[in-house]
Amino acid sequence: MDQTVPLLQIKEITKSFASNVVLKGVDISLSAGEVVVIVGGNGAGKSTLMKILMGIYRADQGEVLINGEKVVLSTPSHALHQGIYLVPQEPMLFPNMSVEENIIIGIDEKKAELRKRLRSIIKKMGWNVSLSRKAETLSIAEQQLVEILRGLMRQARILIFDEPTSALTFKEIDLFFKIIEDLKAQNIGMFYITHRLKEVFEIATNVVVLKDGRITSSGHVSDFTEELLIKGLLSDEDEKLKKESRQEEKLPAERLSTADNPVVLEIKDFCGYGFNNINLQVKKNEVLGLAGVVGSGRTELAETVFGLSKSTSGYVYLNGENITDLKTSEVIGRGINYLPEDRHLNGIFGMGSVKNNITASILKSESGFLINDNKETEKAKQCIRDFRIKVTDENQKLSSLSGGNQQKVVIGKVLASEPQLIILDEPTRGIDAEARSDVYRIIEKLKEAGNAILLISSDYEEVLILSDRIEVMHNGTNIQSFENSGLTMDRLTEASFGVIDEVKEKAAEEE
């Protein structure tokens, strides 16, 4: 193969949805063994560009070349035929089948041949994969590896990752980066989309900054710094705002003790599916951070408090009233709302408009038969402003928003009902750096207004920024509590892997 011709070239790609031009003459080239990281705000056009490579969308103009030759990518199987494979963020495996079966299913070749080929790929990569394990026993990170192998077995030379680390724990991310390095060494070319700028410097060979459908800068990773990246991502208006607020940022507000605040939520000796013997309180004007690794039982706990599953023993009190095992509609009626981890399974209406989605929970809480449309529109517009949701107007269909913007709508929906206690499960997953600080600001505002907030997050930086107190869960139990002063990320990480302070350990032994 001619080494001077890139593996893949994107030339002058333009794409519109109705009158909305989302890609405006994009040029990118990818060579074998390179990782091109694409960064850009929510709605910048990253996923759309990748979907064009995958044959899911057709570009209006421009072309794609592979090894210097123009290709037609009109369906995902065309794309795969050209060696392009998208590794889905949430892999879709058959839970009852083995790893091996999941990888080779659907490839038209003799089974013995397939098995031989699979083993040789794994060996070449230097990976250690247990092929006989059932897919249902795999962690998300392991499932991703299965997806990568699915691509490699189908002769993929170009892999696409769209926010691959957003569902992984810190440890898993390190392993995942090692896998990327191995793929690089085997001359696989990769596109990698992320909102986590630190990742850029760990794995990128090249960087592309996409803003409103246009490339604003690109080049070798060594030409970039984190500051330059942030600068490239900000709009001019944002930059002005940032400068103005920098003065304030230097003086972090002193965290007031919440010890004497009235208790809003109390969980006592609470047991259920995935968690055991939980004891905790969330107070008025307080954010309680619930830290722990994926699988530590935090989401299961939240879902049970919210009435989505039944507990086996113990109690939940809201303002002193027993609300254990009430139905979800009753729990909402009492004043609790929940932002689920999986936004798609829980109460968003893709076919509905942005406005309808934002106001759906207000309609429930406000009695009366007549809906005040002006009020509804005003509320929706405010939310769009507050979170800088990228829409043509409030009547745009939710399903046509970018991933991050859909999430902002769901957050807006939960907050619009102004509950007394809000449970937020991974509130900034998939959200860009700018919107992330908007979400933080709104959480602070809610807290000041008297709300109690239970924050579940695997992003410990986030937990440390927002929480007044922190409970750490490990294997289904809350094993340690911290006041959030002088607490470090390392200490929190240790605790979430089960390392608890000696003092507490002794007390537990004596019990």
Ligand X SMILES: Nc1ncnc2c1ncn2[C@@H]1O[C@H](COP(=O)(O)OP(=O)(O)OP(=O)(O)O)[C@@H](O)[C@H]1O
Q: Which is nearer to ligand X, 193 or 204 (CB)?
A: 193
Q: Which option in ligand X, Mg ion, none does residue 451 bind, with CB closer than 5 to 8 A by kind?
A: none
By beta-carbon proximity to ligand X, the closer residue of 22 and 455 is 22
Least distance between ligand X and beta carbon 212 (Å): 9
Residue 405: contacted member of Mg ion, ligand X, none (CB under 5 to 8 Å, by partner type) = ligand X
165 touches which of ligand X, Mg ion, none (CB within 5 to 8 A by kind)? none
Task: Return the one option of Mg ion, ligand X, none that residue 48 interacts with (CB less than 5 to 8 A, by type).
Answer: ligand X
- In the complex, residue closest to ligand X by CB: 404
- Size of the chain in residues: 511
Beta strands in 82-233 (DSSP E): 84-87, 158-162, 189-193, 206-211, 214-220
Note whether 407 binds Mg ion by CB under 5 A. no
C-alpha distances (whole Å) from 448 to each of 332, 345, 434, 443, 445 are 21, 31, 22, 9, 5
Site residues for Mg ion, window 256-275 (CB under 5 A)?
A: none
Question: Reading across the β-sheet that carries 452-456, which strands appear in turn?
Answer: 336-339, 421-425, 452-456, 286-291, 469-474, 477-483
b/e sequence 305-330, b meaning 16+ C-beta within 10 Å = bbbbeebeebebbbbeeebbbbeeee
Burial (CB count <10 Å: 0-12, 13-18, 19+), residue 194? buried
Q: Which is nearer to Mg ion, 10 or 301 (CB)?
A: 10
Neighbours of 92 (CB within 10 A): 8
237 vs 117: CA distance, rounded Å: 54
Single-letter amino acid code for the residue at 90: E
Q: Which does 42 bind (CB under 5 to 8 A by kind): Mg ion, ligand X, none?
A: ligand X
Q: Of the listed pieces 227-235, 398-406, 491-499, 503-511, which binds Mg ion according to CB under 5 A?
A: 398-406
Query: Which partner in Mg ion, ligand X, none is near 44 (CB below 5 to 8 A by kind)?
Result: ligand X
What's the closest the beta carbon of residue 25 comes to ligand X, in angstroms? 15
Helix (H, G, I), strand (E, B) or coil at 251: coil
Least distance CB 442 / ligand X (angstroms): 18
Of the pair 307, 403, the CB lying nearest Mg ion is at: 403
Minimum distance of Mg ion from residue 432's CB (angstroms)? 10
> Which parts of 467-486 interact with Mg ion (CB under 5 A)?
none
496: tokens are: 């979430």
Which CB, 93 or 339, lies closer to ligand X? 339
43 binds Mg ion (CB under 5 A): no
- Work out how close the CB of 408 gets to ligand X at its nearest, in angstroms, rounded to a whole number: 9
- Considering Cα of 92, then 96, then 99, then 103, what sign does the dihedral take? negative
In whole angstroms, the minimum distance from the beta carbon of 272 to Mg ion comes to 34
Which one among 403, 419, 427, 476 touches Mg ion, defined by CB under 5 A?
Answer: 403
Please say which residue, 46 or 150, places its beta carbon nearer to ligand X. Answer: 46
Please identify, using beta-carbon distances, which residue of 44 and 145 lies nearer to ligand X: 44
Pairwise CA distance, residues 380 & 393, whole Å: 10
Residues within the interface to ligand X (CB under 6 A): 17, 20, 22, 40, 42-48, 390, 400-405, 432
Alpha-carbon distances, residue 10 vs 23, 155, 200 (angstroms): 12, 21, 21
Q: Which of residues 210-239 bind Mg ion (CB under 5 A)?
A: none
Least distance (Å) between residue 360 CB and Mg ion: 24
Q: How far is the CB of 43 from ligand X (least distance, A)?
A: 4
Nearer to Mg ion among residue 47 and residue 276 (C-beta): 47
Q: Which does 99 bind (CB under 5 to 8 A by kind): Mg ion, ligand X, none?
A: none
CA nearest to 53, candidates 38, 32, 74: 74
Q: Round to whole Å and give the CA distance between 91 and 174.
A: 19
The residue (of 159 and 492) whose beta carbon lies closer to ligand X is: 159
Which of 42, 144 has the CB closer to ligand X? 42
346 binds, among Mg ion, ligand X, none (CB under 5 to 8 A by kind): none
CA dihedral sign of residues 368, 369, 372, 373: positive
Tell me the closest approach of the beta carbon of residue 386 to Mg ion, in angstroms: 21
SS3 content of the chain, % helix, strand, coil (to 5): 40, 25, 35
Q: Which of 151/403 has CB closer to Mg ion? A: 403
Binding flag, residue 47, Mg ion (CB under 5 A): yes
Q: Which does 361 bind (CB under 5 to 8 A by kind): ligand X, Mg ion, none?
A: none
- CB-CB contact of 292 with 303 (8 Å): no
Compute the C-alpha angle 49/53/54, nearest 5°. Answer: 110
- CB-CB neighbours of 295 under 10 Å: 16
Angle at 389 between CA 383 and CA 395, to 5 degrees: 75
Restricted to residues 163-182, the positions that interact with Mg ion (CB under 5 A) are none
Q: Which residues bind Mg ion (CB under 5 A)?
A: 47, 403
